Chain A
Amino acid sequence: AQSVTQPDIHITVSEGASLELRCNYSYGATPYLFWYVQSPGQGLQLLLKYFSGDTLVQGIKGFEAEFKRSQSSFNLRKPSVHWSDAAEYFCAVANFGNEKLTFGTGTRLTIIP
């Protein structure tokens, strides 16, 4: 069965500092991987996705993620965070056929001035 681990429940970062959110997955084949962001009281917005090809994926809002098969990881990065990046971030893996998404438990990001 597929699974996702986000080891950091809550991260606090100063505005302008760099950010890395960790995601580890378990899946028997080449995974489909996603990062979603959720602002308070809102739905989920896709930041980026990986299906195949280049292991460094660029997304919206200046985010990027790197797929590392050897480490079963898909960490999300941003070189300089903005106060508007405060939200909850979810990593997800899909099965072959992309019918079932399995989400991690999320990482809540707080930005301090």
Chain B
Amino acid sequence: NAGVTQTPKFQVLKTGQSMTLQCAQDMNHEYMSWYRQDPGMGLRLIHYSVGAGITDQGEVPNGYNVSRSTTEDFPLRLLSAAPSQTSVYFCASRGAGSASEQYFGPGTRLTVT
């Protein structure tokens, strides 16, 4: 199993550009989520999904869109990038049952100039 994969690893955008961060998992996990990590702030939940076709907002959803058309994929879209979205983005997934842990991808480092 590859686990949770994320692409790209690094990305530089100009203000106003759009892009999609890709996340995929091959563990047949129902639950997937996106976090951003900023210095001194830990990780904060952006959006999450409890299954295909179901998404919900986390702590910091503004400026981001998600969709979940398949169990495997959970892309994160930035429609109009802003410098405040410069961050490291992590995708995570976990299996069924509330007593399971989340597995994290390697992250995408995004810089918006």
Interface residues of A (CB under 8 A from B): 4, 9, 32, 34, 36, 42-46, 49, 51, 90, 92, 96-106
Which B residues from 80 to 113 make CB contacts under 8 A with A?
Answer: 90, 92, 94, 98-107
B45 touches A100 (CB 8 A): yes
Report Cα–Cα, A40/B41, bound state, in Å: 16
* B27 at the A interface (CB under 8 A): no
Q: B106: which A residues are within 8 A, CB to CB?
A: 42-43
* Pairwise interchain contact B42-A98, C-beta atoms closer than 8 A: no
Give the size category of B's interface with A: 20 to 34
Decide: A100 near B41, CB < 8 A? Known: A43-B106, A44-B104, A46-B101: no
Chain B residues, CB < 8 A from A97: 98
Q: When the two chains form their complex, are residues A103 and B99 in contact, meaning their CB atoms are under 8 A apart? A: no
On whether the beta carbons of A106 and B42 are closer than 8 Å, the reply is: yes
Is the Cβ of B101 less than 8 Å from the Cβ of A49?
Answer: yes
A105-B40, A105-B41 known; A98 vs B107 contact (CB < 8 Å): no
Chain B residues contacting A51 (CB-CB under 8 Å) are: 98-99
Given A90-B42, A105-B42, A106-B42, check contact A99 B50 (CB 8 Å).
yes
Residue contact A43 to B105, C-beta cutoff 8 Å: yes
- Whether a CB of chain A sits under 8 angstroms from the CB of B44 is yes
Report which residue of A32, A44, A45, A103 has the largest number of chain B beta carbons within 10 angstroms of its beta carbon.
A44
Chain B residue with minimal CB distance to A44?
A: B104
A95 and chain B: residue at smallest CB distance: B98
Is B31's CB within 8 Å of the partner chain A? Answer: yes
* Residue of chain A at shortest CB distance from B45: A100
Bound complex: CA A40 to CA B42 (Å): 14
Q: How far is the CA of A100 from the CA of B57 in the complex (A)?
A: 10
User: Closest 4 A-B residue pairs measured CB to CB?
Assistant: A103-B42, A98-B98, A44-B104, A43-B104
Query: Smallest CB–CB gap between B51 and chain A, Å?
Result: 11
State the CA gap A106–B38 with chains docked (Å).
11
The complex places the Cα of A36 from the Cα of B43 at a distance, in Å, of 11
CA distance A96 to B99 in the complex (A): 10
Chain B's closest residue to A4 (CB) is: B42
